[in-house]
Amino acid sequence: MAFLPENIWKRRLESEYDEMRSSAYKFEVNAEKTEYTVSLHGKGYAKQGDRVFEQDAHKVQIILLREFPYPGSVEVYWLSPIYHPNIREDDGRVCIQLVNDWSESTSVAGVTKALQHLLANPNPKDPLNKQAAKWFEKNGFAGAKPSRPRVV
DSSP symbol at 140: -
Which of 31-45, 48-62, 72-86, 133-147 is predicted least confidently?
133-147
Distance CA 87, CA 44 (A): 12
Distance CA 99, CA 111 (A): 8
CATH number of 6-139: 3.10.110.10
Residue 147 pLDDT grade (very low, low, confident, very high; cuts 50, 70, 90): very low
Whole-model pTM?
A: 0.87
Amino acid present at 152: V
Question: What pLDDT shows up at residue 143?
Answer: 52
Task: Give the residue-averaged pLDDT of 29-33.
Answer: 98
CA distances 99 to 24, 46, 48, 64, 118, Å, are 21, 23, 28, 11, 12
Question: What pLDDT shows up at residue 149?
Answer: 55
- Closest to 60 in 3D by CA, of 95, 85, 31, 32: 95
> What are the pLDDT digits (tens) for 62-85?
999 999 998 889 999 999 999 999
